[in-house]
Amino acid sequence: MRWSDLQAVRLDVREVGLRDGLQIESPVPLEAKLRLVEAIVATGVRRVEATSFVSPRAVPALADAAQLAEQLHRWPGIHWSALIANPRGAQRSVAAGITNVEYVISASDGHSIANAGKKTSEALAATSEVCARIHEAGGTVEVIVATAWDCPFDGPTPPQRLVDIVAAAVAAGADAISLADTIGTVTPARLAAAVSDVGRLVRPDQIGLHLHDTRGSGQVNVLAGVLAGVRKFDASVGGLGGCPFAPGASGNIATEELAYWTQGSPMDSGIDVDRAVEAAAVAQDVVGRPLPGSLLRAGGRSRPLRG
């Protein structure tokens, strides 16, 4: 396939650095998070996962979720969302003013127990209650199926198990589905097969991909997703992130890299590359350590040397 074979594609990117990125870090002050919010909004991204309403004991870095939510009115025009793991999280999110949520269901029991303290079937059984609470508040529920391809505890996820989980989530009222490559093992062929399977249950615009770059295949998997009909992708400034309950998981695909490599192609991310690199630098300063993003380490786009 050539570039010319692709029709114009608008990628719908959700920035997840504030949640997936910061959840594995030492807690940072609220003001530092707000500085990062400012930088992220300046990139042009219009969907942002701001935080998660989970146990502060389990994820102390996001214990200030309600306080952060109180400040989000300062940036109108952004589709804010939060991650939850149970109906209680849905209730807390609504109370804080965030009515669009991502509800995580692990495809594998091993990860589900480590991540949420319950088996997959138990998490799936709570989907209808989560959806009812959020829909009553006028919001939306996106079910993120974690370990959609592989689990660090249980190994490969059987494709039929993934299909069954998605079917049950949709029947329970989920508005959208995201397939998460939690430990960064999926390859383009496996990704395309799963998207095809799930595509028999939901519309293409209801499918998203949450990709990690653990093995360097994250960005090529974006292209595989686009060719399979997906338009919604999660990304994180500087490649920040990882799952604290999945050994071996590393950062997400970097937002600035996604914006960079899609330039000049039929794919438009709507994200300003230079502003995204600046946001990644802010994230790096906020967490106080070097981030893995290649474009950030390279200093942004190549510029001619001047004598």
CA distance 217 to 224: 10
Q: What is the largest CA-CA distance in the chain?
A: 65
* Bridging pattern class, strands 155-156 and 150-151: antiparallel
φ and ψ at residue 288, rounded to 5 degrees? 75, 30
CA distance 88 to 57: 15
Place of tokens 């709570």: 126
Q: Within a 10 A sphere around the Cβ of 181, how many other Cβ atoms?
A: 29
CA distance 99 to 256: 28
| Annotation says 131 is catalytic | no
Choice among 104, 105, 191, 243 that is catalytic: 243
CA distance 228 to 244: 30
CA distance 247 to 183: 8
φ and ψ at residue 48, rounded to 5 degrees? -140, 125
Rg (CA), the chain: 18
Active site residues: 243
